[in-house]
Amino acid sequence: MHQDANTIEWIRRATGQFVDPYAALLLASASALSGQQAEAGKAIKAYLADSRTKSRTISQFQKQQLAMENNPKWLAYNERFAEGLRKAGLPE
C-alpha cells in the first residue's frame, strides 16, 4: 500500500491533472488499490473521456501490454495493475 501512495504522489508530480491517458490509468489503479475509490473513479472517467484513449476495457488494455509477456515481473505488475483498474471501475 505504501508503494501505491508513492505511485500516486509521483504521478501527480509528473503530470498534474490527467495530462496523459496512461497516467490517468496509473492513478486510477494505484488509488483503487490504496482504498481511494472516489479518486480512482474520477481518474477512470477522465481516462474514458480522453479522445486519445486506445483501450476502453481491461482486456483491450492487457492485449496491448503483451510485448513483455515472457517477463515474469512484468506479468505480475500487469496483473496487479489490472486488479486496480477493476477496483476503479474500468470494464472487463
Query: CA torsion angle for 43, 49, 54, 60 (degrees, to 10)?
Result: 60
Measured distance CA(52)–CA(69) in Å, rounded: 24
What tens digit of pLDDT does each residue of 35-87 get? 999 989 998 998 999 998 888 999 888 887 776 677 888 888 888 889 999 99
**Number of domains comprising the chain:** 1
What range defines the domain where residue 21 resides?
Answer: 2-88
Give me the pLDDT at residue 54, please: 85
Cell numbers 490527467: residue: 18
- pLDDT of the residue at 56: 92
